[in-house]
A = this chain, B = another copy of it.
């Protein structure tokens, strides 16, 4: 896969094209962006894009996979030492918000522009995204096994609840100017409500 080999060989052009694609999609919207706009922003010839990517949808999918791969590695590493699965769950989600706050264009591409690719929504089997949801679900299952979460709570439902609500916050945040700190703060409030809502002992949800 082009993404993986690029990571190994540190293919500068490939990375520059992905970065330019994120910025261009966020600025102009996925549908209004032309491959030539991305080439211009990356400082490469139009034809160069097609050496790495089949078309604009392929570029969108590969940038999502590459960034998700990076995010999943990072978040696993950063939260590996957190023993309490509910605290780990919260740390994982807040790290996602931190990444978005540090790269507003990426936040907008992931939470808004991705949905505008019919190909992405309908044809692409989204393994990276499933992997992220599974990570959230595992935290809930582990918390359940330790008696921290009520027995009647479904980890499958909770992972969708968490993802859907944070996704909505991120989409709205990025479409309304993306003020620093705001996303992480409201995500913190949402996560506190959800964790309290699933906790076996709501007064001490940790």
Q: Which residues of A contact B (CB under 8 A)?
A: 29-32, 112, 115-118, 121-122, 153-154, 157-158, 160-169, 172, 175, 186, 189-190, 192-198, 202
Do A169 and B175 have beta carbons less than 8 Å apart?
A: no
The secondary structure that dominates the A interface is helix
Query: CB-nearest residue of chain B relative to A188?
Result: B157
CA distance A192 to B194 in the complex (A): 10
Do B118 and A31 have beta carbons less than 8 Å apart?
A: yes
CA distance A7 to B6 in the complex (A): 57
Residues of B within 8 A of A32 (CB): 118
Provide a sorted-by-A list of 26 A–B residue pairs whose CB atoms are within 8 angstroms: A29-B122, A32-B118, A112-B121, A116-B116, A116-B118, A121-B175, A122-B175, A153-B193, A154-B189, A157-B189, A157-B193, A160-B165, A160-B169, A160-B186, A161-B165, A161-B168, A161-B194, A162-B165, A163-B168, A164-B169, A192-B197, A194-B197, A195-B197, A196-B197, A196-B198, A197-B197
Interface centre among A30, A157, A172 (most CB of B within 10 A): A157
A89 to chain B, nearest CB (A): 13
Residues of B within 8 A of A196 (CB): 196-198, 202
